Amino acid sequence: MNDKVHICAASDCDCGMSRRDFLRVSALSTASIAAPLLFAGDAMAQQGPKGDDQPVKIGYLPITDATPLLVAHGRKLFEAEGLQAEAPRLFRSWAQIIEAFVSGQVNVIHLLSPATMSVRYGAKFPAKVVAWNHINGSALTVAKDINKVTDLGGRSVAIPFWYSIHNVLLQQILTRNGLTVVSKGRETAIGPKEVNLVVLAPAEMVSALASKSIAGFIVAEPFNALAETNGVGKILRFSGDAWKNHACCVTFLSERDISTRPEWAQRVTNAIVKAQLWTRSNQIDTARLLSSSDSHRYTPHALQVLSKVLTVTDYAEYEKSGVIVHKDWNQRRIDFQPFPFPSYTEQMVRALQQVRVEGDTSFLHKLDPAFVAKDLVDDRFVRKAIAAVGGPAAFGLPANLMRSETLAI
């Protein structure tokens, strides 16, 4: 079957927003294009408040990955750290949030962990990961007529971004099942053993699945839960059941803020760590805070949908249907812990180097995983923040803050 996909699929697609977003981020990977944005960001920083007086300006997408940032804002945890915080700014796509961050419009964002490499090493924008935002929290959702991975042959599947753990895991799953990953224009035939990957903003995925433009998508919650609730799709695999306790989104700060305002960076991290700790014990209250019925209006999502993600209620059915393979991992659909394990970063680099990524990837294949684990991440602030709330045990982490990666595709 050849789906007629009217969204960005390859370089010859001219359908609109998704393609423009892709081109904007591709352009940022060219130093000459990125330079004006870097200059604009510096100019805004020089004109704005100095030191700890600088307000926290959050940029986020309406997904549960943003939970710690929104909880910290909603519960006034930034203010408790002596900081000012502006109303968080909602963006529709990853390209938009990256552009706003690089140009200085926002200064605290959650970003796909692989995308941080594109920003730092592709666009050469000096920024660092200071904490993880969450673990797990994504899934491969498919149309009702898809019952196994091989049924996706000849169809199109959406990913949120080429530089994403979603892209990595999906390609590994497809390859393991004998399928070939392609990225073709919307008028090009898809072979029966091929799966065509298309980039689509998370907020557009459920409607694309409902209209049969795509046969599935892999993305952050709550869009998987939304597809289930609306009866247009079903979960085929949880990402955390393929890569145990993987990171997806991370907290990303500019190196300028880290070096010139280290106390500000520490206080921001403190608030985010405290938000994660509170969220772990207050799941339904977190769902209420993020829901469209709350006064903050952080997301357009109903409490019913968010509760399906944030509170563990129906894992037995997923186990019975075979969606969850690794029952012994005892994982939540989404969970929260802030420490950025180096082993994950190294594995992420190796994995991304082995899968298909559109655009200029010359920088990617020159990266050394061990170097990236040390250079991309600054864990000074999160170590102090974790120690201040009871140490690693407060998050169920090993005392030495070390682990090995477990993947079972």
The pLDDT-based confidence of 131 (bands split at 50, 70, 90) is very high
CATH no. of 22-136+247-310+336-395: 3.40.190.10
Share of the chain above pLDDT 90, in %: 83
Reply yes or no on whether the pLDDT at 206 is more than 90. yes
Reply yes or no on whether the pLDDT at 46 is more than 70. no
pLDDT score for 10: 34
Reply yes or no on whether the pLDDT at 325 is more than 90. yes
Mean of the per-residue pLDDT values of the chain: 90
Rounded to whole angstroms, the Cα distance separating 59 from 109 reads 5
| Spatial CA neighbour of 157 closest among 121, 209, 120 | 209
- The length of the chain is 409
> Distance from CA of residue 349 to its chain's centroid?
15
Q: Kindly state the average pLDDT of the residues 230-250.
A: 98
pLDDT tens-place string over residues 252-265: 999 999 999 999 99
DSSP character at residue 392? G
Q: Kindly state the average pLDDT of the residues 250-278.
A: 99
> What are the residue ranges of CATH 3.40.190.10 in the chain?
22-136+247-310+336-395, 146-241
pLDDT score for 132: 99
pLDDT tens-place string over residues 360-385: 999 999 999 999 999 999 999 999 99
DSSP character at residue 10? S
| Spatial CA neighbour of 221 closest among 137, 130, 333 | 137
pLDDT score for 316: 82
pLDDT tens-place string over residues 294-309: 999 999 999 999 999 9
Map tokens 């298309």 to a residue: 198
Per the DSSP assignment, residues forming a β-bridge with 110 are: 251
Annotation: CATH topology of 146-241? D-Maltodextrin-Binding Protein; domain 2 (3.40.190)
Q: What is the CA radius of gyration of the chain?
A: 20
Q: Kindly state the average pLDDT of the residues 265-289.
A: 98
Rounded to whole angstroms, the Cα distance separating 57 from 253 reads 11
Q: CB–CB of 218/159 below 8 Å?
A: yes
pLDDT score for 52: 65
Q: How many CB atoms lie within 10 A of CB 6?
A: 15
Q: What is the DSSP string of 226-285?
A: HHHHHTS-EEEEEGGGTBTT-B-EEEEEEHHHHHH-HHHHHHHHHHHHHHHHHHHH-HHH
> Is residue 191 exposed (0-12), middle (13-18) or buried (19+ Cβ within 10 Å)?
middle
Map tokens 């072979």 to a residue: 191
Reply yes or no on whether the pLDDT at 246 is more than 80. yes
Identity of residue 386? I
Q: Kindly state the average pLDDT of the residues 85-101.
A: 96
